[in-house]
Amino acid sequence: VSVEGIDVQGAAAKVRVKAAEGGGVAMFVWLESPMAGRFSDNGFHLLPGASREVTFECRLDCSFALSNFTSTLLTRNLYDTFASYQPHNTRRLDEPIDAVPMRLWEFCHDCT
């Protein structure tokens, strides 16, 4: 998912996000900004190549600067959440179970 454009209008900004053409469905697209305000829509899905316009409305005390907003705007989706996940204590399916040292306390938190 990428940001195609940002158009500032007073204390609001229209953000256009687009899913990659050749990719899969972008699930749970989420926009984040540390600026005080809210997005008109968040947590939506995008089909490959589809785009959506979302409005960010700044709160009353917010001094809106496009450069500050664009440098801090984050876009995330479900894939991003798990792409960097590194499970521990995993094994290949063709590897015998006894070849991987397993420690009971890694699987049982309340075992005594």
Question: For residue 60, what is the domain's CATH number?
Answer: 2.60.40.10
Q: Where would I find the H helices in 1-96?
A: 66-72, 78-83
Provide the residue range defining the domain that includes 32: 2-84
Q: Output the six-digit token pair for 59.
A: 């709160």
93 assigned to some structural domain: no
CA 41 – CA 56 distance, rounded (Å): 9
The tally of domains found in the chain comes to 1
102 assigned to some structural domain: no
9 — phi, psi (to 5°)?
-135, 95
The whole-number pLDDT of residue 48 equals 95
79 assigned to some structural domain: yes
pLDDT in tens, the chain (112 residues): 889 999 888 888 999 999 999 888 999 999 998 888 899 999 999 999 999 999 999 887 676 777 778 888 999 898 887 776 655 555 555 655 555 555 544 545 555 5
The whole-number pLDDT of residue 8 equals 85
Q: Output the six-digit token pair for 12.
A: 């609001």
The residue assigned the tokens 């989420």 is 30
- Residue 89, sorted as left (phi over 0), alpha (psi -120 to 50) or beta, turns out to be left
